[in-house]
Amino acid sequence: MNGWILRPYPHGINRMSQFLDEGFIAIGWPGIGSLYSCQRSTVYEKVFALYISDYGDQFCRDSSNTIWKFREEMQIGDIVLVVPFKEDSLEIAVGRIDSSYFFAPQYDETGSSTDTGYNGFSHRKKVVWLEKRIPRSLLPEQVKKAFTKKTITMLKLEGYNRLIERLESRGHNSNERWEMSQHRKQLIETSMKMVLDVMQQKTPELADIFEQMATSVFQIFKESESLHFDLLTSKLNHVAMEQQAHLIPVDINGACQPLCLGVALDKWDGQGGFCEVAQQSMTYWLSCLEENSRTLFLTSAWDELDFIKHYKAQFDAYAKKHQVVVILVNVNGFSMTYLGE
């Protein structure tokens, strides 16, 4: 395990309150896109392409190093101190990193450093806060001496050990990391196999897609006991985009594709829930009737009575000539809620 110091100013904007309220940390450099599949050299190329003309090569090299630290070196279970500048606050927050890197495209606006609420903090990791407001004065000297103006600084061993001692004196077992129970792991793996067995018989092309998406979901479940919807959505969108599919709700006006993927991980009638995604999908079906041949939905909420009342007839009519499958995903695995042939 390692300890890290992070300044809460992605894109030059103080995001401390959002970090604490929503349980995540983030860095800036908007506009370079998702970093899921990037090698270290690719990160530099992305930064260079967007920022070289305004900031020069040294900035691009330093920035790519910082971005790589955030994406690759800050690991699940590591301790992170989020430290505002003194003029903003004399209190710091301490948390344990609770997820791998994920990309939130709705917060990737470049624009100015004026806060729009959506600009400049799309590169994220989930955090479980141990302490949200510790006065700087209570921190060990070895930790305070490590504070710099850099976005990310790794704590030296002595400072990390003194920090762990301080946290333990306040009742935290900070080296303890949550691990998935064997029972839950078996539940998820069994449910995945049951869904795959049915799909491989009825809709083998969609079965392959589901297996890839389910594997990503399972990896997230192994990292955390919580169902982080924004993390799930981000990773599933990334998998979906690799399939050359029409992705809803992202590609509402995109080109027609044989495969349509609906990711509805909000509450049933929420902005990103099944109702909204289903409505957008049915509109897409009407305009892409000839090109589209199969549709897969992953949803985190299900209302059987409402589905039957408002959606089933249209789904059944479309499924007479197209493959349509709806999979419910929750913290204990997967279940098939609709299969049209």
Q: Could you tell me if residue 65 is inside a domain?
A: yes
Residues 89, 211, single domain; the answer is no
The mean per-residue pLDDT over the stretch 53-74 comes to 94
Q: For residue 177, is it within any domain?
A: no
Residues 201 and 274 in one domain: yes
Report the pLDDT value the prediction gives residue 226, as an integer from 0 to 100. 62
- The pLDDT value recorded for residue 221 is 80
Distance CA 293, CA 290 (A): 8
* Residue 222 pLDDT > 70: yes
Burial classification of residue 314, based on how many CB atoms lie within 10 Å of its CB (0-12 exposed, 13-18 middle, 19 or more buried): middle
Residue 215 reports pLDDT greater than 90: no
Flag whether pLDDT at 19 surpasses 90: yes
Which of 121, 95, 108 has its CA nearest to residue 15?
121
Measuring CA to CA, which residue among 167, 142, 171 is closest to residue 79? 167
Residue 119 pLDDT: 84
Residue 223 has pLDDT above 90, yes or no: no
Q: Residue 191 falls within a domain, yes or no?
A: yes
DSSP codes joined into one string, 50-98: HHHHHH-HHHHHHHHHHHHIIIIIS-TT-EEEE---TTT-SEEEEEEE-
Quick check: 236 pLDDT over 80? no
- Is the domain of 279 the same as that of 163? no
Q: Which one of 121, 145, 169 terminates a domain?
A: 169
176 falls within a domain: no
- CA–CA separation, 83 vs 289, rounded Å? 53
109-136: per-residue pLDDT in tens? 887 666 777 788 999 999 999 999 999 9
* Residue 231 predicted with pLDDT over 80: no
Of residues 242 and 319, more confidence is placed in 319
Do residue 119 and residue 40 come from a single domain? yes
In a domain, 174, yes or no: no
Structural domain of residue 218, as residue ranges? 182-340
Judge if the upstream peptide bond of residue 249 is cis by omega within 30 degrees of 0: yes
Residue 240 contacts residue 254 (beta carbons within 8 Å): no
The CA distance from 261 to 239, in Å, is: 10
Is 42 contained in some domain? yes
The helix/strand count (H/E) of the chain reads as: 11, 12
Instruction: Please tell me whether residues 285 and 197 are part of one structural domain.
Output: yes
Whether residue 188 is found in the same domain as residue 333: yes
> Distance between CA 220 and CA 333 in Å, rounded?
12
Number of domains in the chain: 2
Average pLDDT rounded to a whole number, residues 184-190: 90
Q: What is the pLDDT of residue 271?
A: 84
Single out the residue in 142, 169, 196 at which a domain terminates.
169
Residue 225 scores a pLDDT above 80: no
Asked if pLDDT for residue 173 goes beyond 90, the answer is no
* Residue 9 and residue 140 share a domain: yes
How far from 65 is each of 44, 45, 140, 211, CA to CA, in Å? 8, 12, 28, 34
Neighbours of 13 (CB within 10 A): 17
Average pLDDT, the chain: 89
> Are 216 and 242 a contacting pair, CB within 8 Å?
no
Looking at the fold, whether 303 and 207 belong to one and the same domain comes out as yes
Please give the Cα distance from 299 to 204 (Å, whole number). 20
- Asked if 163 and 90 sit in the same domain, the reply is yes
Which DSSP letter does residue 243 get?
T
Judgement on whether residues 325 and 292 belong to the same structural domain of the protein = yes
Q: What is the pLDDT of residue 174?
A: 60
Radius of gyration (C-alpha) of the chain in whole angstroms: 22
What pLDDT is recorded for position 252?
59
User: How far apart are alpha carbons 64 and 52 in whole angstroms?
Assistant: 12
- What span, in angstroms and rounded, lies between the C-alpha atoms of 18 and 185? 32
Per residue in 274-299, pLDDT (tens digit) is 999 999 999 999 999 999 999 999 99
pLDDT digits (tens, 9 = 90+) for 75-93: 988 999 999 999 999 999 9
Q: How confident is the model at residue 227 (pLDDT cuts 50, 70, 90)?
A: low
Instruction: Indicate whether 293 belongs to any domain.
Output: yes
Picking from 169, 191, 219, the residue at the C-terminal end of a domain is 169
CATH at 126: 3.10.590
- Tell me: do 13 and 160 sit in the same domain: yes
If residue 121 lies in a helix (H) or strand (E), which one and from where to where?
none
d(CA 145, CA 139): 10
Within this chain, do residues 158 and 31 fall inside the same structural domain, yes or no?
Answer: yes
- Is 175 part of any domain? no
If DSSP codes are grouped into helix, strand and coil, which group holds residue 185? Answer: helix
Q: What are the pLDDT digits (tens) for 319-334?
A: 999 999 999 998 888 9
Q: Look up the pTM and report it.
A: 0.71
